[in-house]
Structure 1
Amino acid sequence: GKNINYLKNKTGAHVSLSNSPFTPDYQICQVVGNQSEVDDALAMIRRKFPVQDYPLLTMMPVNMSQQPVIIQPEHQLILPEVMQLSLPEGVSVDVFVSAIVDAGHLFVQQPTHRSFMSLEKLNYFLNLVYSQDPNVPCVPSPVESGIICVCENDGFWYRAMIMSPEDENGDSQVKFVDYGGYAMMAVSSLKQIRADFMSLPFQAVECFMANVTPNQNEQLFSNEA
C-alpha cells in the first residue's frame, strides 16, 4: 500500500497488484500511464527490487487477453533452476508417475505441491489460445537447446523445452516440461510461448532410479522391463 502510493505520487502512473491466474505464489503488477510515467515507475520498481536480490521478479510484460504477448527471441532461454520444480530432499512426498522413458528413467508430478492445482487452469487457457489462433509466431530458426516453446501433441498443446538443434529432416527433440517425456517434433510446428504462460513452475520432475540397470548383456532396457 505505502510503496504503491509512493510510486503513484512520484511518477503519476496508476499502479496496482493482482494475483496471477495460474499460481497464487506470483502477483502481477499493472502500471498504467503515458510512456514516460510507465518507464519511470518500472525503473523505480527495479531499483526497489534489484535483480541480484530478486531474480524471480521479471519485468516481462504480460497480457491476460486473447492477444498474445510473445517472449522475444533474446528472452527465450529460460534458467531451468528458476522454473523447474524438484523433489525435496530427505522427506517422503506423494507423486504421480506422469511419463515413463524406460525402467530406470521416469517423470513424476507432485500433487501436494501448492502450484499443482493451477496446472489444469494453465492447460485450459493454453489450449484455448493456441488452438484458436493459427497466427502465433513460430520459434525463430535456427533453434537452440533450452528454448521454451509450445507444441501440439495428440490434439493438445503443451509447454515444452527444445532439447536438440534442428536435424536434417527439420525436426528437434523436445521435452514436455509439465508432464514429462520426449518427442521429435517438426521445428516449423513449435510456437513461441506467451509471457503470461511462464508464471507456473514446470511441473514434471525427471527422475532416474538408483541401482537399476539393464541386464548384463543389454545396453538398453527391454520393453518387458
Structure 2
Amino acid sequence: SGENNVDFLDSGCAMRKTVTRQNSKLGGESSKSDFIIWEIEVPKELVGRLIGRQGRFMSFLRQASGAKIYVSTLPYFHDSQVCHIEGSPHQVEKVLSLIGKKFKELSLTNIYALPPPAPLTLHSLLMTAWLFLPDGVTVEVVVANQVDAGHMFLQQHTHPTFHVLRSLDQQMYACYSQPEIPTLPTPVEVGIICAAPGLDGAWFRAQVISYFEETNEVELRYVDYGGYEKVKIDTLRQIRSDFLSLPFQGAEVLLDNVVPLPDEDRFSSEADAAVSEMTRGAVLVAQVTNYDSATGLPLIQLWNLMGDEVVSINRTLVERGFAQWLDY
C-alpha cells in the first residue's frame, strides 16, 4: 500500500498514522477519526506565494479543506520553511492537491513522517524532530523548565502528540529498568539523542550538547521536559529507534524585548522568581515574534490568562523593575 505506519505497537496508544509517499492513496478505508500530520518543506522564495497576499491562499486552503494549516519558520533551515498541515486523510489530501496544482515544482513529500534511524544507530536527528512553536500564531503552552527569567522550555499541552509523552515515559521506564542496555560509545558524538536517568527510575530523552573527555562527562539538553545538566557518560544509555518517533515536546524559547538590567549580564534571582511565580502551574499563551540572531532560538511574547485578565509576562517583568525593555 506504500504506507509507513509509525505506531507504538504494544502500548495501545498509536502515536500517529502517517503516509510517507506522495503517490500513496490517503483515503480508502481509513476511519473518519484518523488524524494525520503532514509537513512539506517550502523554499523561502515560494513562501510568500504560498501564504498569499494578506494570507489569502492560506485562508482559501483552510476553507476548502477544513484542515489546520500554517507555515512555520524553523531557525535551523535558513533557505526554507515548513508548511504544517493536520486533519483527516481526506482533508490533508485536499490541501496537497490544491498546493500541487499551484506549485508544480514543489515536493509534497511528508518530512514529518521520515522514518527514524535504524535501531541503535546514533545519527544526529533532523531538527524537524522538534515540535516547534508555529510562527506568528498564538498557542496555549505550559512552562516545562525555566533556565532563567528570559529563557525557558515550553510544552504545547493541547497538541495532538502531547498525550503520547506519558505513554513514552512508561515504555522507557520499562525498557531501561532492564540490565544490559548498551551504553553510549566513546568518544561521544555531540548532537546525538540518548536516554538519561531521572528520579525514581524514570528515563528521559536527551541530546548531547558538549563532551568533556577529561572528566568523562557530557552536558545534556532534555528534549521533552527542558533544561540542561552535566552528567557522567556511564549513566546514559543508547536510545531505541522506536523511542524517537514522537516529536520532541520541549520548545526552547527566549522572551522577546526583555533583557537584564543595565550593567548586569544576567537576570537576578528576584527576576527568576518573579517569572516562576507568574508561570508556575499556569496555562499560558505564547506567540513567536522574532528569532534570536545569536542562537536561532524563537523570541516570544508570553501571556498569563489570570481569570478575565490577560497579563503580559514580558511587560510585567519590566514594570516591576526586574528587566529592561529593548526595542529592535
The two structures have a TM-score, normalised by structure 1, of 0.72
SS of residue paired to 1:191: coil
- Give the match for residue 217 of structure 2: 171
Give the superposition deviation at 1:78: 1.0
Q: Deviations over 1:172-198 (max 9, x none)?
A: 100000010000011111110001101
Inter-CA distance 143–128: structure 2 relative to 1 (3 Å threshold): same
- Give the match for residue 139 of structure 1: 184
Q: Deviations over 1:23-66 (max 9, x none)?
A: 532469xxxxxxxxxxxxxxxxxxxxxxx9455332755xxxxx
Inter-CA distance 17–90: structure 2 relative to 1 (3 Å threshold): closer
Confirm or deny: 8 A CA contact 2:207 2:222 kept in the other structure: yes
Give the Cα–Cα distance (whole angstroms) in 2 for the partners of residues 172 and 24 of structure 1: 31
In the TM superposition, 1:1-225 aligns within 5 A as 3=1, 20-21=7-8, 23-26=14-17, 53=109, 55=111, 56-58=113-115, 60=117, 70-73=119-122, 76-80=123-127, 82-131=128-177, 133-155=178-200, 156-225=202-271
Give the superposition deviation at 1:211: 1.4
Give the Cα–Cα distance (whole angstroms) in 1 for the partners of residues 225 and 114 of structure 2: 25
Confirm or deny: 8 A CA contact 1:23 1:199 kept in the other structure: no
The two structures have a TM-score, normalised by structure 2, of 0.50
Confirm or deny: 8 A CA contact 1:20 1:27 kept in the other structure: no
Inter-CA distance 154–24: structure 2 relative to 1 (3 Å threshold): closer
SS of residue paired to 2:259: coil
SS of residue paired to 1:188: helix
Normalized per residue, the structure richer in strand is: 2
Give the Cα–Cα distance (whole angstroms) in 2 for the partners of residues 168 and 195 of structure 1: 30
SS of residue paired to 1:99: strand
Give the superposition deviation at 1:103: 0.5
Confirm or deny: 8 A CA contact 2:15 2:246 kept in the other structure: no
The structure whose RCO (Cα within 8 Å, separation 6+) is larger is 1
Give the Cα–Cα distance (whole angstroms) in 2 for the partners of residues 71 and 135 of structure 1: 14
Q: Deviations over 1:65-86 (max 9, x none)?
A: xxxxx4224xx32112x21011
Count of residue correspondences: 179
> Can you give the 5+ residue segments of structure 2 that lack an aligned partner in the other structure?
20-107, 272-328
Coordinate RMSD, CA, aligned? 2.5
